Amino acid sequence: MDFNKKVIALLAVALLATGSWSCKKIIDEEPEATLDVSNAYRNSTDADAAVIGIYGQFLGLQKTYILQNELRADLVNVTANADPYLKQLANHSVTKDNPYIDPRPYYKVILNCNDALKNFQLMRDDFRMSVDDYNKHYSDIGALRSWIYLQLGIQYGSVPYITNPVENVDDIKNLSAYPRISFEELLTKLIDFTEKLPYKEVYAYPTGNPLVITIDGNNTQKIFICKPFVLGDLYLWSNNYLKAAENYSKILNVENNNTNINIAFDSYKVVYYGNSGYNDQAVRYAKYQDESTLLYDQGWKSMFSAQNTNNVWNSEFFWGIPYSSSFKPGNPMIELCSPVYGKYLIKPSKAAIDNWNAQRQNSGIPYDARGRLSYETTATGPAITKLTDNIIPVTNLNKGGKWGIYRAGLLHLRYSEAANRDGKSKLGWALLNIGIANTFYTGTRSSAGAPTPVSFDEINTMQTPYPAPYYLDARNNNDYKSPWYRNTGIRNRAGLTPLDASLQSDMIGLEGKLIDEGALELAFEGNRWPDLVRIARRQNNPAFLAERVYQKLLKDGDPTASSARAKLLNPENWYLPFEWK
């Protein structure tokens, strides 16, 4: 390992574990009249350290991100241990003094991003950084800032859009008076900025870059944001479905030409189990139709507990940041979710559990096992485990884990949402249910229903009949395999029966089912509130959101259920008060 990599390795362990670094001590501390960073950006190693430091600080946003996006929606509720402010989030009665709605944690990271972006430009201009290094560093931090601003828009609606670095103490004091722009204007500005980034590949830094290392059992390549997914989401929120699909498709197909065929066929493609660590993300049982043999240390659950160097994790995730068990504070989800090693403040809602129990498996088992793999029943009550699963079991001395942000299940649902709205509902149905080949194949089948093509014409039906970005090739026979031949569909990977084929021509109906599937596949991961808001906005249907939150509160016995529903029927009440404290 060369000197630069040794430096970054040490920073990666210490800074990502603690989230303690910042370009400048902003907002909470009294800075000097002029903020001097002249010694912080001398060479490429300093630039690498700045990137790692910003991600370390960004890691501190997970608690806010999960609480705002899950507790406000329908799948998570509070326990009896929760403080009044958490209860306010859950039933939409927040007061302005609620600490969980403070926007400053987001802006702390944003202001450090602004500082880094300016200094990267200065380093490029006076040759302290190569153009290639500048392109990658600037694009990485720029995309991360866009992601944070998207979260601010989702949560608060109108927010200050600050892109310049803070130069002196007066600028910091005046941030609260900065003019705010609407969510729609924010989306336009974010798309314009992010599209102009000079490096927009799926992986922020290629293998061999000093920032890509393996240290303390974790690899750093996927701790950095995936820019095409950010762009895909920005376009999806703006109802530009073709551009959204183009960006999502870039990720779906990024490994198609990998010389390792397991990576080429399995990465980000939601595949069936093929007796390989690369494709062990399916819900599995040791014995068919015997629910007592559900596998917890293999299959679907294992992709959340595995280290990020493990094939099962890498085939599913393309953005996730590990916590080190050797440094405080560790994974904040343990405090929120664990009855044994934390304070047990939040839990699965009864509505979430009912969603899983309303499904049926192909084997006849009358529930979706992803529920049992996402939470556990304890003497204290139901406890979320998905956010605390770790290959090394949690203890008082080990509070490691990961913040998994982007993964294949999410990607397929977002891409399907875009395809459905762009007139490709059959493609969306295929990825949701039984996969490309099983949906589009029209040739000869065996008595058991398996495809048995007798001609090239029949084989050629195992692909989507659409141009890019909706072309996915699943053609295969004994001699030939296309990149998507293992794709099995999200519900089929979970062993569930497919939804009615009539949804292939029902855009609004399928859109609702995609969001319903998100409740089953993505529960607790931080996507639920954005999903509900996005669809309610697009359909101009506040009840889409309000009814789901109402059912959560009603089923959990919250007396404010009706008043919360009435409040959420007004879209202005979807957004938190923006209070600069």
Q: Which domain holds residue 304?
A: 285-407
Question: Which among 151, 11, 37, 260 has a CA at the least distance from the CA of 576?
Answer: 151
Coil, strand, or helix at residue 246? helix
Q: What is the mean pLDDT of residues 4-33?
A: 46
pLDDT above 80 for 391: no
| pTM for this predicted structure | 0.95
Give residue 301's pLDDT: 98
Return the pLDDT at 172. Answer: 65
Residue 80 lies in a domain: yes
Amino acid 34: pLDDT:
42
Regarding whether 177 and 52 lie in a shared domain, the answer is yes
Q: What is the pLDDT of residue 552?
A: 99
Examine the fold and report which residue of 239, 256, 272 is the final residue of a domain before the chain moves on. Answer: 239
Lookup: tokens for 543 = 């009840």
Burial 388-413 (b: 16+ CB within 10 A, else e): bbbbeebeeebbbbbbbbbbbbbbbb
Mean pLDDT for 324-350 is: 90
**pLDDT of residue 182 exceeding 70:** yes
Please compute the mean of the pLDDT values over residues 60-83 and round it to a whole number. Answer: 99
Please report whether residue 402 resides in a domain: yes
Residue 579's pLDDT is what? 86
- Are residue 24 and residue 114 in the same domain, yes or no? yes
Tens of pLDDT, residue by residue over 251-271, are 999 999 999 999 999 999 999
Query: Does position 147 have pLDDT exceeding 70, yes or no?
Result: yes
Asked if the structure places residue 560 within a domain, the reply is no
- Confidence (pLDDT) at 123: 97
Domain end, chosen from 407, 430, 451, is at 407
pLDDT digits (tens, 9 = 90+) for 407-426: 999 999 999 999 999 999 99
Residue 311 pLDDT greater than 80, yes or no: yes
For residues 147-171, one letter each, b for 16 or more C-beta atoms within 10 angstroms of the residue's C-beta and e for the rest, the string is bbbbbbbbbbbbbbbbeebbeeeeb
Predicted local distance difference test score (pLDDT) of residue 267:
99
Give me the mean pLDDT over the 419-437 stretch. Answer: 99
Chain position carrying tokens 């870059």:
209
Closest of 224, 123, 127, 238 to residue 188, by C-alpha: 238
User: Is 380 inside any structural domain?
Assistant: yes
Whether 292 and 225 share a structural domain = no
pLDDT of residue 11: 52
Side chain identity, residue 253? N
pLDDT of residue 5: 53
Tell whether the model's pLDDT for residue 169 goes beyond 70.
no
Instruction: Please tell me the predicted confidence (pLDDT) of residue 39.
Output: 66
Residues 213 and 339 in one domain: no
Residue 176 has pLDDT above 90, yes or no: no
Total Cβ atoms within 10 A of residue 327: 18
Q: How far apart are CA 191 and CA 234, in angstroms?
A: 6
pLDDT interval class at 32 (50, 70, 90)? very low
* Listed residue (368, 375, 581, 380) closest to 491, CA to CA: 368
Same domain, 231 and 92: yes
> 40 CB contacts (<8 Å, ≥6 apart)?
23, 46, 50, 119
* Amino acid sitting at position 297: D
Specify if 474 maps to a domain: no
Model confidence band, residue 328 (pLDDT cutoffs 50, 70, 90)? low
Which of these three, 183, 206, 239, is where a domain ends? 239
**For residue 377, what is the DSSP state?**
E
Query: Can you give the CATH number for the domain in which 175 is found?
Result: 1.25.40.390
Place of tokens 């249910």: 433
Domain count, the chain: 2
Kindly state whether residues 338 and 231 are assigned to the same domain: no
Give the mean pLDDT of 274-289: 96
Residue 466 lies in a domain: no
Q: List the single range of 10-24, 121-135, 291-305 with lowest mean pLDDT.
A: 10-24
**What is the spatial distance between Cα 54 and Cα 452, in angstroms, rounded to a whole number?**
53
pLDDT for 360 equals: 99
Q: What pLDDT, on a 0 to 100 scale, did the predictor assign at position 399?
A: 82
Distance CA 175, CA 178 (A): 5
Query: Would you state the pLDDT for residue 525?
Result: 99
Q: How far, in whole angstroms, is CA 74 from its chain's centroid?
A: 18
Range name among 26-35, 171-180, 373-382, 521-530 with the lowest pLDDT average = 26-35
Q: Where are the beta strands (DSSP E) in 146-198?
A: 159-160, 180-181
With a cut of 70, say whether residue 300 has pLDDT above it. Answer: yes
Specify the pLDDT at position 33: 43
What's the whole-number mean pLDDT along residues 366-383? 98
Beta carbons within 10 angstroms of residue 129's beta carbon: 23
Q: Does residue 396 have a pLDDT over 90?
A: no
